[in-house]
Amino acid sequence: MDQMIFAGVTLAKIVLVMAVVLLTVAFLTLAERKVLSWMQDRMGPMEVGPYGILQPLADGLKLFFKEDIVPAGANKLLFSLAPILSFVPALIGFAVIPYGPNKEIELFGYTIRPFVITDINIGILYILAFTSIGAYGIILGGWASNNKYSLLGGLRAAAQVISYELNIGLAIIGVLILSGSLSMVKIAEAQAGGFWHWHIFGGLQIIGFVVYVISAVAETNRLPFDLPEAESELVAGWMTEYSGMRFAFFFMAEYTNMVLVSCIAAVLFFGGWQPAFPKTIVEYLGFPNLAWAESVFFWFPLKVYFFLFLFFWLRATLPRLRYDQLMRFGWKVMLPLALANVLLTSIAVFFFRQ
Amino acid sequence: MAEPTMTMTQWVKRLTFYEILVGMRATLSVFVHRIILRNRRAVTLQYPHEKRDLPGTYRGMIALLRYDDLSEKCVGCDLCEAACPSRVITVISAEKEGEPMKRYAKEYSMDMTRCIFCGLCVKACPVDALAMTTEYEWAVYNKRDLLLNKQQLLALGDRNFPEREKKIELQHHNVTFFNIGHQDLPVMTSQEPPVTP
């Protein structure tokens, strides 16, 4: 019976998180178009609903009812598998993100942890492992399409994702050393007590943070690192032959990855749900019972949406890199910086923690 | 990375992503002016809802005109057909009944799918029977709908040029070559020049 209750509660949490994430993804497409147009003296979508806020629904309906074309000569199995392979790993990562304080609630005699789906002790490793599988979706999609542009996009994605995943892995090691844990919950808890305790400021992980953000942009194939997609060179890269819902899956995978990467950045470097002061604002006002609500509904979204805005901001500003620049930047600049960060952090921790 | 000409400031700028930050400040300032300060407007014209003011010389759809007594101006001279670089115009001219010297366009059709809107036909017309309107919303589902016959071209002229030219014989000096029937010639008085509008 206990297991049944546990499974039910976990399922409810999964459904809730899935719903919120997919809703965020849907309106992220609109937010991106709006922010980009505001930065470029345009208006963005204005037709569907007031100020175009129903545009995601229209887009979704359109994609849902579109003809689903599988090109002749395509490998049907891999062609169908690729969108799933890129979308599912992106969603799986949200299982270990802490959305709020890790406190236990007694409900009808059962203890539940409402703000994290599951706290596994290798959380960040788990996310990294699954996002690597997402690269297979891109590569297989590019290969299975039987199209030269798709193949080129897939090849580029393979090289790019592998190069930059290495940097992500190295950039977060400093944080892991400082928190002494791979669990996302423990990492967030280690940064309690004001913004000067966050790893980016308190742990002096600024290099690691910069390397992480740049590599994360490259990892999610966003501008200025969108070489696998590269409209002006490769039509749409690995997505060229995809249409209808399969294309929508790739599209959602890209945005879900953005949200996931932003959540990780918020948890690792900006303290996750931790407020910027030693206590939350409602605690200062005298409502300590509502502190969790402020963390969940204000501080965590604030940090995540800041990073999402950063994605749009970078896209509005920077042109696409050339392929050799991308590789040189990844291997000759980012990698040494990340390694130096690991070295310096470990030396500092060795001397100051003793 | 190790160019010998690289100075210290260049190094610092490269390390701190100085140029990128300058660019990001530029985009952010536009954003702030648009959304927060509200002192910057989009250049977008919401097309179907709001439209541009077109200059009077805009070269849109071509129309056939009438005189104020609703007779067609066209004299069927074929000069527009000759002037057209993309062979849009087809004119079949015929004699006016009862007036052997007067001619008119029995059939007049324009294939607007080919028209490049150069306006040479309007220039070529000796009696100013052709004009360019400011109409441009002529997207159709069927390509054949752009093959305009004389009635359609006249209708275009009627709705775009409600003020019609007064019909006077000899109103244009070229008219003498094309539009003179020997029946109702007005009496020429001495050395008066031909009346022009």
A19-71: pLDDT as tens digits: 999 999 988 999 999 999 998 888 888 888 888 889 889 988 998 898 888 88
Quote the pLDDT of residue B196: 58
Quote the pLDDT of residue B194: 55
Per DSSP, the three-state class of B105 is strand
Rounded to an integer, what distance in angstroms lies between the CA atom of residue B155 and that of residue B161?
10
- Enumerate residues 28 to 87 of chain A having a beta carbon within 8 A of any beta carbon in chain B: 35, 37-43, 46
Full DSSP string of B61-94: SEEE-BBTTS-B------HHHHH-TT--EEEEEE
Quote the pLDDT of residue B179: 47
As a 3-state breakdown, chain A gives helix, strand, coil percent values, each rounded to 5, of 70, 0, 30
pLDDT category of residue B3 using cuts at 50, 70 and 90: low
Contacts with B44 from chain A: Cβ below 8 Å? 41-43
Quote the pLDDT of residue B62: 92
CA–centroid distance for A103 within its chain: 25
Rounded to an integer, what distance in angstroms lies between the CA atom of residue A217 and that of residue A258?
8
**pLDDT, average across residues A153-182:** 86
What's the complex ipTM?
Answer: 0.76
Beta-carbon separation of B30 and A35 below 8 A? no
A235-256: pLDDT as tens digits: 877 888 888 888 888 888 889 9
Quote the pLDDT of residue A161: 84
Q: For chain B, what percent of residues have pLDDT higher than 70?
A: 82
Residue B197 has pLDDT above 70, yes or no: no
pLDDT category of residue B4 using cuts at 50, 70 and 90: low
* CB contact A325 to B (< 8 Å): no
* CB contact A318 to B (< 8 Å): yes
Residue B91 has pLDDT above 90, yes or no: yes
Quote the pLDDT of residue B116: 93
N- to C-terminal Cα distance for chain B? Answer: 76
Residue B185 has pLDDT above 60, yes or no: no
Q: Ranked by mean pLDDT, which of A153-157, B24-28, B175-179, B185-189 comes out on top?
A: B24-28
Stronger pLDDT, A227 or B197, i.e. the higher one = A227
Beta-carbon separation of B42 and A318 below 8 A? no
**pLDDT, average across residues A162-187:** 87
pLDDT category of residue B191 using cuts at 50, 70 and 90: low
Beta-carbon separation of B30 and A313 below 8 A? no
Which candidate, B164, B194, B159, places its Cα nearest to that of B176?
B194
Residues 6+ apart with CB under 8 A from B60: B54, B117, B132, B133, B134, B135, B136
B32-62: pLDDT as tens digits: 988 888 888 888 888 888 888 888 888 999 9
A182-227: pLDDT as tens digits: 888 888 888 877 787 787 777 778 888 889 999 999 888 888 888 8
CA–centroid distance for A297 within its chain: 18
Residue B152 has pLDDT above 90, yes or no: yes
Residue A1 has pLDDT above 80, yes or no: no
Which candidate, A115, A131, A86, places its Cα nearest to that of A264?
A131
Stronger pLDDT, A156 or B185, i.e. the higher one = A156
Rounded to an integer, what distance in angstroms lies between the CA atom of residue B171 and that of residue A138?
74
Contacts with B33 from chain A: Cβ below 8 Å? none
Contacts with A38 from chain B: Cβ below 8 Å? 30-31, 34-35
A134-147: pLDDT as tens digits: 888 888 888 888 88
Quote the pLDDT of residue B181: 46
* Average pLDDT score, chain A: 85
* CB contact A16 to B (< 8 Å): no
Quote the pLDDT of residue B183: 45
Quote the pLDDT of residue A100: 80
A86-136: pLDDT as tens digits: 889 888 888 888 888 877 777 776 777 777 788 888 888 898 888 888 888
Could you tell me the two tokens for A131? 């996002």
Beta-carbon separation of A43 and B28 below 8 A? no
